[in-house]
A = this chain, B = another copy of it.
Amino acid sequence: MADKDISQAVIARLPRYFRYLGDLKEKGVERISSQELSDIMKVTASQIRQDFNNFGGFGQQGYGYNVNYLFDEISKILGIDRQHSLVIIGAGHLGKAIAGYTNFTRRGFVFKGAFDRDPALFGTMIRDVEVRPIDEVEDFVRNNNIEIAVLTIPKDQAVPMAHKLADCGIKAIWNFAHVDLDVPNNIQVENVHLSDSLMKLSYNISRYEKTIKQ
């Protein structure tokens, strides 16, 4: 079932399916139909079936989907059936927040290193990891087979850092800096542009206020 070329729209929905299936699993639900899932998730049953069928058939006619099986298949698709090592670059509050997020550990994301520019932080601990000087990042990534770098540093530092990371074999960058990174496309980039998100919120407030005025 090699995914030919799944659209990012579909990919973006997978974690949400995963989340709901995890909840169902916890509740002890064994099977679910696309229609039931449709009611809970508020997307069409048709879309659910189409989405899953991008990756092959996970259901059974007349029965529906087995929750446990579907959950496992989606974790495989998402690549969270195995571990990913990561480092956090920028040991401020945001970096600490992410490092401390235990759910990530549960999903196989292993926090291996933390780096900062501020000497006052060197040697301090974030969970079981000590903060190191930022110019040790490259060696650390190379020597410890790090897959993911979490960039929680200001945007002017993020751009050169992304290039350095590209050179030392990082596989992916989870970018929290408010800037678009330009790296070779063998490196996966996922942006979390918090300011963009807040502006969307602000837009929707304004839009709603306009509609009620009329």
Among A93, A147, A179: residue with most chain B CB under 10 A: A93
Whether the Cβ atoms of A203 and B14 lie closer than 8 Å is yes
Binary interface encoding of chain A residues 179-214 relative to chain B, with 1 for a CB under 8 A from any of its CBs, else 0: 110000010101011111111111111111010101
Cross-interface CB contact of A16 among B103, B196, B210, cutoff 8 Å:
B196
Of the stretches A75-83, A111-119, A135-143, the one at the interface is A75-83
A164 close to B (CB within 8 Å)? no
Among A93, A104, A202: residue with most chain B CB under 10 A: A202
Whether the Cβ atoms of B210 and A178 lie closer than 8 Å is no
Question: Closest chain B residue to A206 by CB distance?
Answer: B79
A67 close to B (CB within 8 Å)? no
Report how far A200 CA is from B18 CA in the complex, Å: 12
Whether the Cβ atoms of B203 and A197 lie closer than 8 Å is no
Ranked 7 nearest A-B pairs via Cβ: A79-B206, A93-B97, A15-B196, A94-B97, A190-B201, A188-B204, A15-B199
Sample 7 A-B pairs with CB under 8 A, ordered by A number: A11-B204, A19-B179, A84-B202, A84-B205, A93-B93, A94-B97, A109-B202
